[in-house]
Amino acid sequence: MSKAFTRENDGDGDEDEDLVPALQIPAGAKNYLTTEGYERLRGELLALIDEERPKVVEVVHWAALNGDRSENGDYLYGKKRLREIDRRIRFLTRRLEKAEVVDPSVHAGSDQVFFGATVTYVDDLGEERTVTILGIDEVDSARQQVSWVSPVARALLKAREGDEVQLQTPAGPRTLEVLSVSYPARPKR
């Protein structure tokens, strides 16, 4: 059968979520994002739609005019890149449609852990850590950011400074003591 009549992926689901379980939003939950995270995802979506996709379409069109498409590297790579771009556009569009933008600064001054909090805690082994609880699509583990659906964030949410919480790990339960909670300052208007 000709490749022209086959699909690379027969599902119309979110391929990115299928590949990486950490990207999955719990059933019935919203996609919580900070304003900065929402704007970053929206910026990526607009750049793909307005800049990158038109460039690749132009290359594919040019390559298609060069004759035999079956051995035309520019054409084959361009079509593959277009599928990748379209998949990412669908993914970002769905994520932004489900987005619930949360301003963590409304909790500034609070000692209770909510979305957007930067929390310093010590575990029962004496290791002190500081993490910021953010949305699934905006975390960067290299910057000590954790998703609000991660086990450590779920254990810390709603706790207050001085509270001890239990974190279930594969090695067994661990006790975490919340040392401090902070939020970004409210923007001046």
CATH of the domain at 135: 3.10.50.30
- Mean of pLDDT over the chain: 86
Do 110 and 165 lie in a common domain?
Answer: yes
24: burial class by Cβ within 10 Å (0-12, 13-18, 19+)? middle
**DSSP state for residue 51 in the 8-state scheme:** I
Spatial separation of the C-alpha atoms in residues 38 and 95, rounded to whole Å: 10
**DSSP state for residue 160 in the 8-state scheme:** B
Helix and strand numbers, DSSP H then E, in the chain = 5, 7
Supply the pLDDT for residue 20.
52
State which of 36, 67, 101 marks the end of a domain. 101
Do 68 and 88 lie in a common domain?
Answer: yes
Do 116 and 81 lie in a common domain?
Answer: no
Supply the pLDDT for residue 149.
92
The phi and psi torsions of 64 (rounded to 5 degrees) equal: -65, -30
pLDDT in tens, 101-136: 999 988 988 899 999 999 999 999 899 999 999 999
* Total of domains in the chain: 2
Q: What is the mean pLDDT of residues 9-21?
A: 47
The strand pair at 172-182 and 164-169 is best described as antiparallel
Do 97 and 128 lie in a common domain?
Answer: no
96 falls within a domain: yes
127 falls within a domain: yes
Do 118 and 168 lie in a common domain?
Answer: yes
Supply the pLDDT for residue 72.
80
65 lies in which domain range? 27-101
Residue 68 pLDDT > 70, yes or no? yes
Do 144 and 77 lie in a common domain?
Answer: no
State which of 101, 130, 160 marks the end of a domain. 101
State which of 101, 121, 149 marks the end of a domain. 101
Q: Report the CATH number at residue 33.
A: 1.10.287.180
Supply the pLDDT for residue 177.
96
Residue 85 pLDDT > 90, yes or no? yes
Supply the pLDDT for residue 48.
97
Residue 114, classed as helix, strand or coil, is: coil
Do 171 and 123 lie in a common domain?
Answer: yes
pLDDT band of residue 10 (cuts 50, 70, 90) is: very low
16 falls within a domain: no
